[in-house]
Amino acid sequence: MQNKMTRRRFVGVVGGCAAAAALVLGLAACGAAPSATQGSGSAEASDAAETVVFTDSAGRDVEVPAHVDKVVPSGHTATQVLITIAPEKLAGLSQELTEEQRVYLGDRVSADLPVLGAAFGAKGDLNKEAVAATGAQLIVDTGEYKEGMKEDLDALQEQLGIPVVFIETKLDEWPAAYRMLGELLGVKDRGEKLAAYCDTAYSEVSQVMDKIPEDQRVRVLYCLGADGTNVIASGSFQANVVDMLANNVAVVDSPSGKGNGNESSLEQIAAWNPDAILFGPDSIYETVSSDPAWQTLPAVQAGAVYKVPTEPYCWLNYPPTINQVLGMQWLARVLYPAQFEGKDGAYDVARSYYKTFYGYDLSQAEYDQLTGASVR
């Protein structure tokens, strides 16, 4: 089968025909499913009442178990989302959790879960035999819809013999995404709680931004890499939050969708002359204020330099998933503090997010460590 690869590279997963046969999980015995009800996330019971037809965000009608007890993520973005809504149903992870991540995720994620790899992306290391061993009933993929996605998802489903569904997770569509997931996974109450949080957060920030004309928004540059000269370019999926809240000065011909952004140079950064600079994971936030080359930039001279928190996942991107809802609230308060007078501060929204999504009580000291105490 020849698949379109414009969305992302689909890599053949490891394993043989015996493993594929083991993954068929009896779906054929459930009988033919009826036509799906129109609309994203709709589900209709089959004749045998053992499966339902679920219409995913790619417009695919997928026959899925009526009761899902074991689910695996297609990759890293879906892992993060499933941890927030149904960690008890996770049958595997896309990659090992770090010690730092487990501090915040605690007992929500079993330490015994196998690492399965990711189906898509540059690495493409999903292990078919390992997926089979989990007894998973469903694979969930999340992210941005792109051309060629349907073919990729259908190919993965055919190879694994397990239903694969896609849930689109744009910054303004998280409420719908969580409601779809709540229905799909049989955790509607949890899905609604997370949906309501996302709806409130997005509405609050959007209302603030509606009052700030485009030409009055802060000119921001988001820098990455060991020397700080990679940038998250305007228009990329990685730049969702920055583009929503600021004038992203990193305008390039071909914005990269990768987590390491586009390569640039200090000379180009000086030409962009941002009002504020964000430094991402493993970058030079700690040393930039003492670096003579960076000290020539007005933003550095003014102290408008901020550390993007990275635990348990980067708040702004890498990957761009539910963490962006927190990053959106945090960065809005960093850039426009006067607009949030009388509202919850940056620490308050971070504490609420960690409690709601991870069940973790974030202390002020932990918050200061995460952010470099750049803003409270």
State the pLDDT at residue 49. 58
Q: pLDDT category, 41, cuts 50, 70, 90?
A: low
Q: If you average pLDDT over residues 46-61, what whole number do you get? A: 84
Query: Is residue 7 predicted with pLDDT exceeding 60?
Result: no
State the pLDDT at residue 123. 67
Query: Is residue 50 predicted with pLDDT exceeding 50?
Result: yes
Measured CA angle at 266 (ends 242, 337), to 5 deg = 35
Under DSSP, the state recorded for 15 is: -
- pLDDT tens digit string along 186-195? 999 999 999 9
- pLDDT tens digit string along 323-362? 999 999 999 999 999 999 999 999 999 999 999 999 999 9
Query: Is residue 78 predicted with pLDDT exceeding 60?
Result: yes
Compute, in degrees rounded to 10, the torsion defined by CA atoms 57, 143, 77, 109. Answer: -30
**Strand ranges (DSSP E) for 169-265?**
219-224, 230-231, 247-248, 262-263
Q: If you average pLDDT over residues 50-57, what whole number do you get? A: 96
- Top-tier CATH class for 17-202: alpha beta
Q: If you average pLDDT over residues 116-124, what whole number do you get? A: 82
pTM: 0.86
State the pLDDT at residue 111. 92
Q: Which of 48-52, 167-171, 226-230, 300-304 has the lowest mean pLDDT?
A: 48-52
Instruction: Give the DSSP H or E segment for 327.
Output: helix 323-335
Q: Do domains 17-202 and 213-344 have the same CATH topology?
A: yes
Q: What radius of gyration, in Å, describes the C-alpha atoms of the chain?
A: 22
Query: Is residue 295 predicted with pLDDT exceeding 90?
Result: yes
More confident call, 8 vs 185: 185
State the pLDDT at residue 344. 96
State the pLDDT at residue 167. 98
State the pLDDT at residue 24. 38
> Which residues 6+ apart lie within 8 Å of 40 measured at CB?
55, 56, 57, 176, 180
Question: Euclidean distance between the first and final Cα of the chain, in Å?
Answer: 54
Query: Is residue 17 predicted with pLDDT exceeding 90?
Result: no
Taking alpha carbons only, the member of 92, 188, 88, 174 closest to residue 140 is 92
State the pLDDT at residue 107. 87
State the pLDDT at residue 375. 59
Q: Which of 37-41, 121-125, 238-242 has the lowest mean pLDDT?
A: 37-41
Contact predicate 228/221, CB 8 Å: no
Q: If you average pLDDT over residues 178-182, what whole number do you get? A: 98
Q: What DSSP line would sit under 330-343, residue for residue?
A: HHHHHH-GGGGTTS
Q: If you average pLDDT over residues 51-66, what whole number do you get? A: 97
Contact predicate 93/79, CB 8 Å: yes
State the pLDDT at residue 281. 86
Q: pLDDT category, 318, cuts 50, 70, 90?
A: confident
Mean pLDDT of the chain: 88
Tokens of residue 73, six digits: 């993520």
State the pLDDT at residue 373. 59
Of the chain, the percentage scoring pLDDT greater than 90 comes to 79
Domain 213-344, classified CATH 3.40.50.1980, yes or no? yes
Q: So where are the chain's domains?
A: 17-202, 213-344
State the pLDDT at residue 125. 84
Query: Is residue 215 predicted with pLDDT exceeding 90?
Result: yes
State the pLDDT at residue 120. 84
